Amino acid sequence: MKIHRVVQMLGLTQESGRLASDMYDLNDKEYYSKAEGKYIPISHMDFQHLVRAFVKQNDEDIRNDTQEGKIVDVIKAKDHIINGLRSQVETLSSKVKDQDRGRVLRIRELNEKIEKLKAIIEEKDELIDKWFKEEHRWRKAYANDCYTQGWRYVFSEIPNDTDGQEFVDTMKKYLNKESYKIRVKGQHLKKELYGQGRAYHGANMEDSTHMRVYIDKKKGDE
């Protein structure tokens, strides 16, 4: 039975003899029939066909609603994951910033210590350089005072006889004995004593033909 016949029959059951007015406009509403491959007015649809079409459409709506629900759930799950990841990233970022801040402070402290050490080293270098110069100056002064260019004796080739002995005695007489002292040693072994080992440790005055005179500065409590 076609829908427009059903509408007419149901209208007769009403006190007014009619259904709602839009039920009589179904001839202007179309439905695409896959079986016929074209659009047909709903009023010309068979009642059973209309019911099946309604059930099919309802199933599709339910399926679509279910899929939309799944999509919504997926979106919510994704948002939850994203929010969790964002929270983790923010936490890690905060930790990294704290670590970086700690590293910066540590590096700053180390740089300050390095600068202090550099200043101390520079100061020590200046002191060492000053001490080195002072040491060099005193060594040079000591060398100039203690070392003599050439031979250390003052007089040599003094004949070991009466005149030579008188000359040595005169020097001893007028010497500044508070500051200096005189040492007299033999020089040139007598020829008749050659080969006897008499000059192995230096010739004695009695075995020498000449004399050498050394004048030394007195040191300390000499």
Q: Position of tokens 């007028």?
A: 174
Distance in angstroms (rounded) separating the CA atoms of residues 118 and 27: 102
103, 124, 147: which is the final residue of a domain? 147
Residues 163 and 187 grouped into a single domain? yes
pTM: 0.37
The secondary structure element, H or E, covering residue 38 is: strand 38-41
The DSSP 8-state label assigned to residue 18 in this structure reads: -
Residues 73 and 135 grouped into a single domain? yes
Q: How confident is the model at residue 87 (pLDDT cuts 50, 70, 90)?
A: confident
Residues 127 and 180 grouped into a single domain? no
Residues 125 and 179 grouped into a single domain? no
The DSSP 8-state label assigned to residue 152 in this structure reads: S
pLDDT digits (tens, 9 = 90+) for 109-129: 899 999 999 999 999 888 898
pLDDT digits (tens, 9 = 90+) for 30-50: 877 777 788 888 777 777 776
Least confident of 20-24, 79-83, 148-152, 204-208: 148-152
Cα distances (angstroms) measured from residue 39 to each of 32, 44, 49, 103, 164: 4, 11, 14, 76, 162
Does residue 222 lie within any of the structural domains? no
Does residue 80 lie within any of the structural domains? yes
pLDDT above 90: residue 158: yes
Cα distances (angstroms) measured from residue 20 to each of 11, 64, 92, 167: 9, 31, 67, 169
In the structure, how many helices (H) and strands (E) does the chain have?
3, 5
Residues 90 and 141 grouped into a single domain? yes
Structural domain tally of the chain? 3
Residues 15 and 28 grouped into a single domain? yes
The two three-digit tokens of residue 163, written as one number:
């005149």
pLDDT digits (tens, 9 = 90+) for 163-202: 999 999 999 999 999 999 999 999 998 888 888 877 666 7
Please give the residue that has the higher pLDDT: either 134 or 64. 134
Does residue 124 lie within any of the structural domains? yes
Least confident of 3-17, 107-121, 157-171: 3-17
Domain that holds residue 207: 155-217
Q: Position of tokens 């179309």?
A: 30
Distance in angstroms (rounded) separating the CA atoms of residues 2 and 49: 9
